[in-house]
Amino acid sequence: MGWAVGGAIGGFLASINYHLLFWVDGCTNIVAAMLLLKLLPFVKSGSKRKESKHVEVNKVKLPYYDAAYMFFIGLTVLFASCFFQLFSMQPLFYKTQWNLNERFIGVLMMLNGLIIVSIEMILVYSLEGTRPLTVFIRTGVFLVGVGFMLLNILPHSAWVAILSVGIITIGEILSMPFMNSFWISRTADNNRGQYAALYTIAWSIGQIAGPFYGSQVIEHKGYYTLWWIVSGICLITSFGFYRLGRFVKSR
């Protein structure tokens, strides 16, 4: 949600003056840091907590020995590297290839957040528990790939841009909440932090890798090739989640 609102505001500011982007970004980060220092309580770790952690350390199941989870982490990296094209390479594509203006591109990014706010909670609540988690995850990943694929196979227009963002957002809604549910389902009280850390690292790697390889592909082969590559990765990842579901079911 945050990145969608940021994209909308960024598009509006860029349509006025690009320098405003950096001033607003810098000031909001400084204000956020000051609020965190002011509002978050200072926590002291007590000796009793340290002792209990020492006693339990040998009983902790490390995520690195959970084969299904490590496979899940690899798939998450692949998916994240594709998903973040939505906020890095896709806006540039709309601007340089389809000649859409910055304000409209900002509205597209805002559309992502509006769809999430409107239907995510209702949809997830209605679907949760009806099928295995990996069914929803693989469907969502597949839809994200379809959303990028449309950029190559449909005519260049603002409506296609809206359709692409809409389908990618539906894929996001189907995949991400159930990805969270999946990793949480494999944890216990004494190792949940380690699982969470590894999951966060996977998304961070994807956020770095996506724009890096995306920009390299664009420079040497162009956007057309990039969207086919991203779609292909999503298709492979979706099949990977299918295999993960079969593996977890058989255990």
CB-CB contact of 115 with 208 (8 Å): no
pLDDT at 14: 59
Cα–Cα distance for residue pair 241/144, rounded to 1 Å: 14
pLDDT at 19: 66
Residue found under tokens 């255990």: 251
pLDDT at 28: 82
Cα–Cα distance for residue pair 183/207, rounded to 1 Å: 19
Tell me the CA end-to-end span of the chain in Å, nearest whole number. 36
pLDDT at 103: 86
pLDDT at 11: 59
Cα–Cα distance for residue pair 79/138, rounded to 1 Å: 10
Helix (H) or strand (E) holding 55: helix 47-56
User: Angle formed by the axes of helices 67-83 and 192-220, to 10°?
Assistant: 40
pLDDT at 38: 81
pLDDT at 47: 47
pLDDT at 44: 64
pLDDT at 128: 92
What contacts 238, CB < 8 A, 6 or more positions away? 138, 139, 141, 142, 145
**CA 223 to the chain's CA centroid:** 21
Q: What long-range pairs does 236-240 form, CB within 8 A, spacing at least 24?
A: 236/78, 237/75, 237/78, 237/79, 237/82, 237/141, 238/138, 238/139, 238/141, 238/142, 238/145, 239/138, 240/71, 240/74, 240/75, 240/78
> For the chain, which ranges sit under pLDDT 70?
1-19, 21, 43-59
One-letter identity of residue 211: P
